[in-house]
Structures are given as structure tokens and as C-alpha cells.
Amino acid sequence: MFHLECIVCGQRYGAEEVVYTCSRCGNLLDVKYDYKLLEERLSKVDLKRRPLSVWRYRELLPIKDEGKIVSLKEGGTKLHYCRRLGEALGLKSLYVKTEGDNPTGSFKDRGMTVGITKALEYGFKAVICASTGNTSASLAAYAAKAGITCIVLIPSGKIAYGKLAQAIVYGAKIVQVKGNFDDALRIVMELSLKGKFYLLNSVNPYRVEGQKTLAYEVADQLGRPPSFLVVPVGNAGNISAIWKGFKEYKRLGFAEATPKMMGIQAEGASPIAEAVKLGLSEIRPVEKPETVATAIRIGSPVNWRKALNAIRESGGTAETVSDREIVEAQKLLARLEGLFVEPASAASIAGLRKLVEQGAIDKDELVVCVATGHGLKDPDTPVRFGEPPLEADKTLEAVVKILEER
Ligand SMILES: *Cc1c(COP(=O)(O)O)cnc(C)c1O
Ligand SMILES: [Zn+2]
């Protein structure tokens, strides 16, 4: 029912083989299905009878045995209509998909439910990943649920506190690497080739299949795909996965159109946005990526080729935002809509603001912004950049006085 295919040379790999990248040319792999058969078998009406979740779309996921699925009830996240934020940005139909609603607080859970299920199918007893935080939190939770070992490599000192707490409490073996995310990823990729650990970074073609369900959900929730989908980009697995989801949704006859994919990167870590803007065919990796948005602090995104393709094929574009703009957008979303998201997620709001100002997105368009992770993941950032609480003596008069002053 499915197989893997190299995105560059087209080499095919069977579902039984454990492969992460093409052994012929080294490029990434994509999961391919028999879409003709699926189109005959699946109807949108039938799918919509099932609860909104990753596994609503199980026939479109690369799983052999439904009985072996490891799930924490991921997906089915809310799509908020944001009237006040829309007004502030100059948009009539703005929606925010809050992926922080997922079991461990980020979209990574969509991928890990599929990834861990594959690890068990292949008979692995241990899984491994490099992480800027959310991947490790998610993988650790799913490994715990499955009863297998989880090893995570994180860049030392650069991961948000809430995410570290999660990996610790779920019982992962955590190794801090004295380097950045790109260094940690290089090491786990080499380690996984030794065969003992199943690699669950976004090079893994099965993990990102789970992430594509965000596209199906958005289209199901709105009744059609939006005109624009705005998403923050780090390692670029998510934008690639979401684009695949929208393409499949159309291919199955569930929709007539696909959205333009708008990728947002932080200024200090923006090789994909640079390639899009300059029209380069390859990215130029950033040696020392820097941004307050640690989840997208990645200089050498492994999925760059898929992401450039997603942006170009969809007719979308990419934009960069500064740390100040990210922090500002985080406040704006919280204060106008009551939604608290982590800095990387706020980057999509900051980017959207710029795109509307530039006229790249018209005020009448239907726009969905993906808020990738929950704000409580990184409580330090708003405290560091926000106004400190007022302080008063322990009397009624003192409190009244200070409130009047403000
Ligand atoms: C992982 C992550 C991203 C980046 O996703 P990529 O697939 O690496 O581009 C963005 N935001 C949050 C909250 C994340 O956890
Ligand atoms: Zn190849």
C-alpha cells in the first residue's frame, strides 16, 4: 500500500527496509501511496464521521497494523477565528491553529505517534533524536507510552526550560552536547546507522507523514483549504509535511485548491528565506544560528530541499523576522486573542504581519497561521521581555495608590 521514494533520483525502497535517506544519492525520502486505490476507497464524508485527530486519516498513514498504534490522542487541535488580531493586522478571515493543544504541547506529537509505531513495527527497543526541545519532549513521552528507551541529544544551555523538564520527567536519557542543534543532529544520524537506535528526527520519512495531518485537519475544519498557510520554519520538516498533506487532500478529490505556503524564519537563522528571496537552488547554511525562538534556531535545515519545493510549488514565499518582532507578536496574540504560544510559534504571526504590510497577502484572503507550540514551554522569554509586576506594601492604601499611578 505504500513505499519510499528518493525525492531526487526516484530510487524506491520497500516498507520492510529501515532507511532514512537514499543510499544511492543521499537525499531525503518521501512516502508514496496508491492514491488511485485510496481515492476509490475513501470518502470525505466517511472520514468526517471519525473524531478529528491524527488517526482520523489512518488510511493515509504508513502503518501496517492498526492494532499496534501508540497514541496519546494527538491532533484534533483547535482552529481559532481571530477577529481582534485580524483587525490589528488588517485581515478579515484569520485563523490560528493552536498545536499547543497536543499531548506534549507541540505539533511534534503528530509525527511521534507515527514514528514510535514504526519503531515497534521494526522491532526497535530504543529510539533516538537530536532536539531543540520539543522533539525530545514528544519522543520521550511516546517512548514512555510504548515502554522503550529514549535517548536525546540537546545543544547545551540552549533549550527552553519547560521542554527540558518534560524530557526529564518522561525518563529520557539526556545528553547535552557542547555545540548547536546541527552538531547534535550530525551525531545522532551517524549513531542511527549502527542499527541499534531508531532515528526520529524529521529526516525520518514516516515521522513527517504524521505531521501532514495538520493540513487535512485545517481543510476539514474550514470546509476547504485556506488561501495562505503561514508556518515557522526551523529544520523545515513541518512546512514540507503540511504541503504534502494539502497536495494529497486535493489529489484525493477532497478539495479543489491548495494554499500558498508562507515560511517564516528568524533573522539569525534564515537560510531558507534567503534562498527563496535570492532565488538560489541550494541553501547556504548559517554557521552560528541565533534567535530567542530556540525551536527554530537551526542553521542547516535537513529538509531544505523539500521546503524550497513546497514554497515554490505552492506559489508561496518566505520572510524573516527579528527577535523584537517575535516577542512583540507573542504579546499581541496573547493580549488580543487570549492565546499564549512559544516564541517560535509567534514568529508566524510576526511574519504574517510583514507579509500583509508588504501587500503579499490581501485583506480578504482566508489565512491560517500555525501556532506550533504552547507558551508555557518557554516561560522565561515573556518574563525577560515583559514589564515586571508592580510592588506594594501590605496595605489597602498602598495597593490602591499604586494602581492609580499606573
Ligand atoms: C519543531 C518546531 C518548529 C520548527 O519545525 P520544523 O519542522 O523544524 O521546521 C517550530 N515551532 C515549534 C514550536 C517547534 O517545536
Ligand atoms: Zn536518491
Distance 25 CA to ligand 2 centre (A): 4
Decide: 77 in ligand 1 pocket, CB within 6 A.
no
- What is the rounded distance in angstroms from the CA atom of residue 213 to the CA atom of residue 221? 12
Residues sharing a CB contact under 8 Å with residue 231, sequence separation 6 or more, in sequence order = 238, 239, 242, 261, 262, 263, 264, 348, 369, 370, 372
Q: Which domain holds residue 8?
A: 1-33
Q: Is the four-CA dihedral 300, 304, 305, 308 of positive or negative sign?
A: negative
User: Does residue 270 sit within a domain?
Assistant: yes
Is residue 377 included in any domain, yes or no? yes
Q: Please list all protein residues whose beta carbon sits less than 5 angstroms from ligand 2, which is an ion.
A: 6, 9, 11, 22, 24-25, 27
pLDDT of residue 132: 87
Burial of 338 per CB tally in 10 Å (0-12, 13-18, 19+): exposed
Q: Is there a domain that residue 84 lies in? A: yes
Rounded to the nearest angstrom, the gap between the alpha carbon of residue 188 and the centroid of all alpha carbons in its chain is 20
C-beta of residue 177 within 8 angstroms of C-beta of residue 204: no
- Residue 311 sits in a domain whose CATH number is 3.40.50.1100
- Cβ(326)–Cβ(270) below 8 Å: no
Distance 302 CA to ligand 2 centre (A): 15
Q: Please report which ligand is nearest the Cα atom of 261.
A: 1
Whole-number Å distance between alpha carbons of 367 and 210: 22
Q: Is there a domain that residue 364 lies in? A: yes
User: What's the CA gap between 313 and 306, in Å, rounded?
Assistant: 10
pLDDT (tens place) for every residue of the chain, 406 residues total: 899 999 999 999 999 999 999 999 999 999 999 999 999 999 999 999 999 999 999 999 999 989 999 999 999 999 999 999 999 999 999 999 999 999 999 999 999 999 999 999 999 999 999 998 999 999 999 999 999 999 999 988 778 889 999 999 999 999 999 998 989 999 999 999 999 999 999 999 999 999 999 999 999 999 999 999 999 999 999 999 999 999 999 999 999 999 999 999 999 999 999 999 999 999 999 999 999 999 999 999 999 999 999 999 999 999 999 999 999 999 999 999 999 999 999 999 999 999 999 999 999 999 999 999 999 999 999 999 999 999 999 999 999 999 998 6
Residue partners of 178: CB distance under 8 A and separation at least 6:
156
| Amino acid identity at 278 | L
Residue type, 396: L
- Give the whole-angstrom CA distance, residue 156 versus residue 16: 36
Residue 369 falls inside a structural domain: yes
List CB contacts of 56: < 8 A, sequence separation 6 or more. Answer: 47, 50, 75, 76, 213, 216, 217, 220
Shared domain check, 238 and 300:
yes
Ligand nearest to the CA of residue 8, numbered in listed order: 2
Question: How far is the centre of ligand 1, averaged over its atoms, from the C-alpha of 295 (Å)?
Answer: 5
The CA 296 to ligand 1 mean position distance, Å, reads 6
Nearest residue by C-alpha to atom 15 in ligand 1: 134
Nearest to 61 by CA among 224, 205, 240: 205
Q: What is the pLDDT of residue 335?
A: 98
The number of angstroms, rounded, from the C-alpha of 4 to the middle of its chain's C-alpha atoms is 22
What is the total count of domains within the chain?
A: 2
Compute, in angstroms, the gap from residue 234 CA to the centroid of ligand 1.
6
Question: What pLDDT does 7 receive?
Answer: 97
Question: Which pLDDT belongs to residue 1?
Answer: 86
pLDDT value of residue 159: 83
Residues 27 and 83 in one domain: no
In a domain, 315, yes or no: yes
Residue whose cell numbers read 484569520: 94
326 Cβ inside 6 Å of ligand 1? no
Task: Please indicate, yes or no, if residue 51 is contained in any of the structural domains.
Answer: no
**Pairwise CA distance, residues 142 & 134, whole Å:** 12
Cβ(37)–Cβ(43) below 8 Å: no
Burial class (CB in 10 A: 0-12, 13-18, 19+), 38: middle
